[in-house]
Structure 1
């Protein structure tokens, strides 16, 4: 059994996709991009971040300052955000089964902790914030060292292509959830260990002994 279950935050734990789109639209012109039209959201969800930025005419080098400003605005929007359906119950049952829970996110520690407190989502053993959007494999290694466990003791739960790619680099099993930022098709093409469509399915996969490949 892999006793550590590590969750991504935005899109996986918190329903923040539409907020991310709104914040992007508010900042797009400042960083040289164009706004996202509602009708193109499904298509954009099926693109990698570099391809998405290209479609929205945002130079890749402008992504870090755009994200930084978005995180500051995100803080003011926290009262309106909600956990993904069923996740509160999943956390509680996993803890009852003896799992240790963690969060690894590129969002700020303050935003994450504030959201967890607002919704009384207790039970996380640690929260790790990493500012490097495209170095999540390094962030996974750093988080494991900091928390004192091996990569062979964990499984990751995320909602983006980059989550799957990072876990492949460090040989960590990943459950990709389809209710977040990236489309189910894009996630499936990346080849996660599991593709999950609901909180109940996620819980069943973990309790059945997920992370044992083959």
Structure 2
């Protein structure tokens, strides 16, 4: 039976409910750059699109994306005090820690933002926090974490909420658990058979992880 010892988490949409902040700061930027704003009605229309199709829908030139993301995270930092965790997620993380699991974060957000959020929540159980400057480069960061920590690949489970999280895990053959309380609630067809589980609540995820312990 597969045994996990190291649980690696995405941050936005998995631990932190950053959707309200991202909507706010994106729409501020949309006004500045003349992009299409995102509304409550827009979200269902773009949620299932690829990232390239989302950019096309919102009128964002592809060449601007590498320059836009750092601006968004800078604005994110300015709003970090209002960032809230998903209900019950820290109780779940504490339980994992108490059961002896190693907890880490691999995210596309900045380490500074994540550390400030965890400080605000008075949570200190994450062993490592690794961040990618490349929005689609999580596989490289996951490989760096494995190399630095000497974690056996087969003992690791990555927990994320987006299709790109699964794609990153596929590239390095890491097990992935997909949660749908975050940004995306539907897998692209080519990914639907890869995740080790699809979890609607952290209670479901906890039962899965403990069953593999």
| TM-score bracket, shorter-length normalisation | over 0.9
Match of 2:196 in 1: 193
Of 148, 151, 170, 1:149 maps to: 151
Cα offset for 1:200?
Answer: 0.8
Match of 1:167 in 2: 169
* Alpha-carbon distance in structure 2 between the residues aligned to 1:189 and 1:88: 32
Q: TM-score, normalised by structure 2?
A: 0.92
Equivalent pairs, count: 209
Matched, 1:205 2:208: yes
Match of 1:23 in 2: 25
Describe the SS at the equivalent of 1:28.
helix
Matched, 1:53 2:55: yes
Tell me whether 141-150 or 30-39 shows the greater mean CA deviation.
30-39
Moved over 6 A (4+): none
Cα offset for 1:49?
Answer: 1.4
Gaps of 5+ in 2: none
Alignment of 1:65-84 (within 5 A): 65-84=67-86
* Alpha-carbon distance in structure 2 between the residues aligned to 1:43 and 1:84: 24
Q: TM-score, normalised by structure 1?
A: 0.92
RMSD: 1.6
Alignment of 1:83-98 (within 5 A): 83-98=85-100
Gaps of 5+ in 1: none
